[in-house]
Amino acid sequence: MIILDGKKLKQEILDELKEEVSNLLIKPKLVVIQVGDDPASDVYVKQKGKMAEYIGYNFEHIKLPSDILEEELLTLIDKLNDDKEVSGILVQMPLPSQINAKTVQNRVIASKDVDGLTDINTGKLVHNNDTLISCTPMGIVDLLKEYNISIKGKHVVIVGRSDLVGKPLINLFLNNDATVTVCHSKTNNLESITKLADILVVAIGNKEFVKADMVKDNAVVIDVGINRDNNKLYGDVDFSNVSKKSSYITPVPGGVGPMTVAELAKNVLKAYKINRH
């Protein structure tokens, strides 16, 4: 069994980007908008700030009160869309209940959508056109490629169908010639399907949900879950037992998480180049 080390690959990606950015006269700028005080969001925004500082991006963190009106948030996004200094805009999820997340995500112009969540960028991904792609799914595919794990012709089973991970992954894997099956909370006989997977991706936010008897021998297992319990992080996969059966597996933490940050870093530079044309 080989551990897929997302931390190591992330560092390599950031170092490459840092080198490229050091030669730019005008630096890319990432703006992160956070609404309210979600402790997990505070952590994620801090990570993004550290990444930006390391590479040499300009970084702005705009923190708004949780009772802000949707209209005010949309006005701010319009302003950032028009600002030529801004390369990428990211609205940190979750948003308070009075704000429609989809409306907000789609207000960001596609060329600055470093989260890859607008309907335009999602549509381009479906049609296999070059675009800004959601960071976690892209990180998963890049991690597999780094370890020379073939995707073509493989049966990929994705457990979870979120807009952030599951749905973009379907298209990314199809674009890489995999056969894709998607499971979710309404799937019957889940275990019989996960056991067919050459590559099993689990993204449901349920601590150690996937047990060893749900995985076939020598499968590649990608654990996207981050579950906090007594200040300890757990994945969606029972790592200690599943790792004994798998050929490759991602740890939590240190697997997919760091790759998400690396792909965001890549998207900021990509957006910068798109917007400077």
Q: What is this structure's pTM?
A: 0.96
Q: Are residues 253 and 139 in the same domain?
A: yes
Q: Are residues 235 and 155 in the same domain?
A: yes
Domain boundary among 74, 109, 144: 109
Using one digit for the tens of pLDDT, what is the confidence trace for 224-238? 999 989 989 999 999
Using one digit for the tens of pLDDT, what is the confidence trace for 236-246? 999 999 999 99
Residue 111 is predicted with a pLDDT of 98
What CATH number is attached to the domain comprising 35?
Answer: 3.40.50.10860
Residue for token pair 């390369």: 87
As for how many domains the chain has, the answer is 2
Q: Which residues of the chain have pLDDT under 70?
A: none
Residue 89 is predicted with a pLDDT of 98
Candidates 34, 105, 112, 115; catalytic one: 115
Residue 40 is predicted with a pLDDT of 86
Which of 142, 109, 112 lies closest to 262 in space, CA to CA?
A: 142
72: its two tokens: 């005010």
With 0-12 / 13-18 / 19 or more C-beta atoms within 10 angstroms meaning exposed / middle / buried, residue 75 is exposed
Q: Are residues 142 and 251 in the same domain?
A: yes
Q: Are residues 162 and 235 in the same domain?
A: yes
**Domain range for residue 142?**
135-257
Which residues touch 36 (CB under 8 Å, ≥6 apart)? 64, 65, 66, 95, 96
Candidates 10, 48, 124, 270; catalytic one: 48
Q: Are residues 177 and 243 in the same domain?
A: yes
Residue 277 is predicted with a pLDDT of 77
> Are 259 and 142 contacting, i.e. CB atoms less than 8 angstroms apart?
yes
Candidates 92, 167, 198, 236; catalytic one: 92
What CATH number is attached to the domain comprising 169?
Answer: 3.40.50.720
CA dist., res. 212 & res. 243, Å (int):
8
Using one digit for the tens of pLDDT, what is the confidence trace for 167-218? 999 999 999 999 999 999 999 999 999 999 999 999 999 999 999 999 999 9
| 48 flagged as catalytic | yes
**268 located within any domain:** no
Residue 231 is predicted with a pLDDT of 86
| 115 flagged as catalytic | yes
Q: Are residues 87 and 185 in the same domain?
A: no
CA dist., res. 157 & res. 228, Å (int):
25
